[in-house]
Structure 1
Amino acid sequence: MMRRWFWVLCVVLSLHVVLAGRAFGQQTDPKLWEEIQALKRGQEEIRRQLLEIKQLIQACAAAAPAAPDIRIIPVDLGNHPTKGDSTAKLTLIEFSDYQCPYCGRHVRDTNPLLRKEYVETGKLRYVFFDMPLESIHKSAFKAAEATRCAGDQGKYWEMHERLFTNQQALEPWSAHARALGLDTARFDACMNTGRFAGAIRADMATAQMLGINSTPTFLVAVRDSGDPNKVKGLSLIRGAQPFATFKMEIDKALAANGADK
């Protein structure tokens, strides 16, 4: 008996909902009804625009240029200061920024291990290319100039190490010059005239050509058979990776190029 009344009640309630809905549709204020319809049209327009944006993003991704092939791009080492045997078959080029904290970490934690195992044993030539990220590191370009100007007096690597050790106190530049015993008048003249600005810009252009856009980035390269002062890339190591990552890439490159003895 109770069950029958339960079903009767359900039917009555259902009819009430249907009739109420019809009544709402018939009695709704025309202005409110138009606003509801406008909202629906707005939703459809938003959906259409989102679809167009999605299609545009997909088209841009498809049209994005492919990463450059570092294996076929010769890199001219020019007059860059180097460490290690100049005849080493393998070269490691570091693209770096004197204000970059990750670059500083690499110099402090990983570079000494690389020097000991590969550079000092004649397996690897190490070269530094300047890549100051000017948009976020306002002193990085002048820091690169400072190392070049110090190099003009035979103290490139000393200034290099000093600036990375003092990343939070890069300026005044003349203070570092005095600490290294440089001719400060000559150093200041070099800094003020921008003598090495063009060479630094050339390093930055090389990085762009190789598709390098962050620091530190390292190019593992092999000596060009046609020109001992040029190298061709084998692989890129991006970021301040641990020594184990460098060891894996370098050992693989040494073995592949018959230079692992």
Structure 2
Amino acid sequence: MLIVFFLEYLVGVEVGQDNIRKQELETLEQSLDDLKTPEISLFFQILKDDDPVLGDLDASISIIEFSNFQCKFCLRFYSDTLPLLKTQYIDTGKVNLVYRDFPLPQIYANSMPAALASECANEQGKFWEYHDMLFEDQNSWRQNDPGLAISTFKQFATTLNLDQEKFDSCLDLGKYSDEINSDVDDGLDYVVSGTPTFFIGNEKIGYSSLFGTQSFSDFQTIIDEKLSDDM
């Protein structure tokens, strides 16, 4: 089943507004959570692009994540599932995680600035530290006016001791907007219709997809099958 992009018809949210009311956003997110699905498709060509990789670049299996930093369910993956994946698969060299941007600015007003900020941090070699800070402190900026959120993103750069002038210029100019839009275009080609969406596997054995807030055991089942198939 294809999920309608942005789910505007399911929850009565009018796409085109820069912001939506908090209650509408919560209703939308609950609809996204209700529509989470198990393994739905098999793909053989899922590009990693040149996006940040967590773990061994030569790991036999990749998890390619399409995510946005303002999404509550992306935060849930970060908080509840990623630590277990990291301990059991990523740190052991079996699997790596590729982060690809999929902001939804019509729904999440701060998702594009957050993605731009993470790319600016990546330019200075601190993507994963900035990634973690965006998720761990999501409540400090998630519902803010975009201007205030950008100020918070610049403060995060200060906390990480980044070159502040370089970071601020990068963010203010939207330096990596084309890179982010390229991720979005690829995601749409792969029928990504919401965040988070994951593709697990490699080009030899194919990638299986997962959508939404799946449990560690859901990932574990697919990863173990892929590892076995890749032997």
After TM superposition, the score normalised by the length of structure 2 is: 0.75
Greater RCO (CA < 8 Å, at least 6 residues apart): 2
- Match for 2:50 among 63, 66, 79? 79
Distance, in Å, in 1 between the alignment partners of 2:66 and 2:167 is: 24
Contact 2:103 2:112 survives alignment (8 Å): yes
Asked if 1:91 corresponds to 2:71, the answer is no
Q: 5+ residue gaps in structure 1?
A: 1-67, 226-231
Superposed counterparts of 1:128-207, under 5 Å? 128-170=99-141, 171=149, 172=151, 173-207=153-187
- Give the letter aligned to residue 214 of structure 1: G
Asked if 1:248 corresponds to 2:221, the answer is yes
Deviation track 1:90-140 (CA, whole Å, cap 9, x = no partner) reads 110111110100110110111010011111111111100111111110000
Aligned-CA RMSD value? 1.6
- Give the letter aligned to residue 200 of structure 1: I
- Match for 1:116 among 75, 78, 87? 87
Contact 1:70 1:210 survives alignment (8 Å): no
**Percent of residue pairs bearing the same amino acid type:** 34
Distance, in Å, in 2 between the alignment partners of 1:84 and 1:178 is: 26
Higher percent of residues as helix: 1
3-state DSSP of counterpart to 1:247: helix
3-state DSSP of counterpart to 1:135: coil
Moved >6 Å (runs of 4+) = none
Contact 2:41 2:209 survives alignment (8 Å): no
Contact 1:102 1:215 survives alignment (8 Å): yes
How many residues align? The count is 183
The residue aligned with 2:208 is: 235
3-state DSSP of counterpart to 1:92: strand
Deviation track 1:174-231 (CA, whole Å, cap 9, x = no partner) reads 1111111111111010011111100000111111000110111110121x46xxxxxx
3-state DSSP of counterpart to 2:109: coil
After TM superposition, the score normalised by the length of structure 1 is: 0.67
Distance, in Å, in 1 between the alignment partners of 2:191 and 2:47 is: 16
Distance, in Å, in 1 between the alignment partners of 2:219 and 2:42 is: 18
- Give the letter aligned to residue 69 of structure 2: Y
Higher Cα radius of gyration: 1
Distance, in Å, in 1 between the alignment partners of 2:154 and 2:175 is: 16
Contact 1:96 1:128 survives alignment (8 Å): yes
- Give the letter aligned to residue 43 of structure 2: R
Distance, in Å, in 2 between the alignment partners of 1:168 and 1:246 is: 27
